[in-house]
Amino acid sequence: MPRPGRNTYSDQKPPYSYISLTAMAIQGCPEKMLPLSEIYKFIMDRFPYYRENTQRWQNSLRHNLSFNDCFIKIPRRPDQPGKGSFWALHPSCGDMFENGSFLRRRKRFKVLGASDHLVQSMGKQQSEAAHYLQQQAKLRLSALQAATGTHLPQMSTAYNLGVGVTPSSTFKHPFAIENIIAREYKVPGSLAFSTMQSMSAGYPLHNQLTTAWPHMYNTTSMIDTAAPISDYSAYGVPIKSLCHGGPALPAIPVPIKPTPTSMAGFSALPHHHHPHHHIPAFLSNSPQSLSPTSPQTATSQSSPATPSETLTTSPSTTLQSVAVH
DNA sequence: CAGTGTTTATTTTGGA
DNA sequence: TCCAAAATAAACACTG
């Protein structure tokens, strides 16, 4: 049994499916959408295991993006040069890993009508969602630029925007990295807790993170790869921002298959724990101490329109989807 | 041309 | 042990 903190451990395959890794990456950025290359980067930056055999796993990842309805493609606007589209989570995919296992979902998320006459309405709904995301991204960017007086390249700043968002909102998308990390592993409670504390401070301590999430970094990478990682605030984990209202869609959690306990609040982590994944319940209401240091925080947060107001109809209510298999 | 995206087929594996 | 989800492989179209 490899022990936390050991180099050997960090090279192991992380206990996440491509779907969960991708969802993690998408949820980890304020815009809640990323181009393929950024998803790759997110994963490679954090999991040494994926720095090898890139052809193989990246092909698998692309397969997943196309194959799974929980991922939607969002076209680039003319002012967003680059190859490929942005990828986002389907507004209704909810907590696909409510069972606590990030390896396998209980049910695959499928959009209704994938093979029947409902398809046409789907197109419309998706485009609405896409438009919404684009608008949000645009708003955020201009807000940031206004606040900082600088013009920053979009994607490279994406992760920075995240830190220090006001703790006004409580909901956190299931895929928010903080949630994922917290649920992760059956680490001794105390350990996970200390990790979260450092996380909420906006600057997780390396050794703590490494201990709690060993496969995320190898002991030397932090220093050696400081450059790439420094692009992201605090290891690329926009701790506070994730989901909050701000960014993305009205992230209304929709359990794939409603269960008595799953709606106990998001906050609420699954009650029946998977035998192999004990989920620290404290996580849900982890203290939202925040770094009041980011200017864009106030700006973006004070944005008048709430997501649901922006759309005439909330995507989460108009989009029809269901877990199917 | 390289990166991106889609699709089909097959194998592996988690979990009931 | 069985089933469905996930992983893997690979062909192929499209695009900047």
Q: Average pLDDT, stretch A260-285? A: 33
Q: What is the pLDDT of residue A114?
A: 45
Q: What is the pLDDT of residue A64?
A: 98
Are residues A75 and A85 in contact, defined by beta-carbon separation less than 8 angstroms? Answer: yes
Q: How many helices (H) and strands (E) does chain A have?
A: 14, 5
DSSP 8-state code for residue A323: E
More confident position, A100 or A118: A100
Gap from A221 CA to B2 C1', Å: 28
Q: What is the pLDDT of residues A146-158, one digit of tens each?
A: 665 555 444 433 3
Q: Give the H or E element holding residue A209.
A: helix A206-212
The length of chain A in residues reads 325
Does residue A89 carry a pLDDT above 80?
Answer: yes
Does residue A289 carry a pLDDT above 50?
Answer: no
A28 is written with which tokens? 């980890």
Does residue A182 carry a pLDDT above 60?
Answer: no
More confident position, A215 or A48: A48
Q: What is the pLDDT of residue A45?
A: 95
Does residue A198 carry a pLDDT above 80?
Answer: no
Q: Where are the alpha helices (DSSP H) in A14-166?
A: 18-27, 36-46, 54-67, 119-148, 154-161
Give the pLDDT band (50/70/90) at residue A6: very low
Gap from A18 CA to B8 C1', Å: 19
Are residues A144 and A157 in contact, defined by beta-carbon separation less than 8 angstroms? Answer: yes
A159 is written with which tokens? 């992760």
Q: Which nucleotides of B are covered by protein (CB under 7 A)?
A: 3-9, 14-16
Gap from A274 CA to B16 C1', Å: 12
Q: What is the pLDDT of residue A266?
A: 32
Q: Collect all residues with Cβ–Cβ distance below 8 Å to A138 and sequence separation of at least 6.
A: A77
A267 is written with which tokens? 């906050």
Q: What is the pLDDT of residue A143?
A: 67
Are residues A43 and A17 in contact, defined by beta-carbon separation less than 8 angstroms? Answer: no
Strand C-proximal protein residues, Cβ less than 7 Å: A 16-19, 56-57, 59-60, 62-64, 68, 81-83, 96, 103-105, 107-108, 324-325
Strand B-proximal residues of A, range 39-78, CB below 7 A, are 40, 59, 62-63, 65-67, 73
Q: What is the pLDDT of residues A22-40, one digit of tens each?
A: 999 999 999 999 999 999 9
Does residue A278 carry a pLDDT above 60?
Answer: no
- Asked which of A52-56, A264-268, A317-321 is least confident by mean pLDDT, the reply is A264-268
Instruction: Look over chain A and give the mean of its residue pLDDT values, rounded to a whole number.
Output: 58
d(CA A159, CA A163): 8
